[in-house]
Amino acid sequence: MQFCEECGSLMHANGAEMVCSSCGARTAKDETEAAKYVSTEKQIFDDVIETTEDAADEGMPTAAETCEDCGNDRAWYTIKQTGAADEPPTRFFKCTECGYRWRDYG
């Protein structure tokens, strides 16, 4: 693997040069090192589910949970281990109607 000296992202081979996947920086491919590199298919992001707070909620599972704010009976949820390994995970909910957020510590 070769990483970009400009931004640190992974570079990929493009003919006789290496190209940064993020910033587009280019550098000549060192042919003596070329035998060490393994080519892979380009990564696709079709199966990635966004989990940032501003991401769309499509694709997230729903649960039968009652919203404290509007009384709706469905909520999207994610589960994260926020405590020690011997503690139950935390469930984060977002109402499918009003967007109200809450958590359940199990």
Q: In what order do the strands lie in the sheet with 26-28?
A: 11-14, 17-20, 26-28
Give the residue from 93, 103, 96, 55 showing the smallest Cα distance to 72: 96
Q: How far apart are the first and last CA of the chain?
A: 42
Q: Which residues are catalytic?
A: 86-87
SS3 state of residue 31: helix
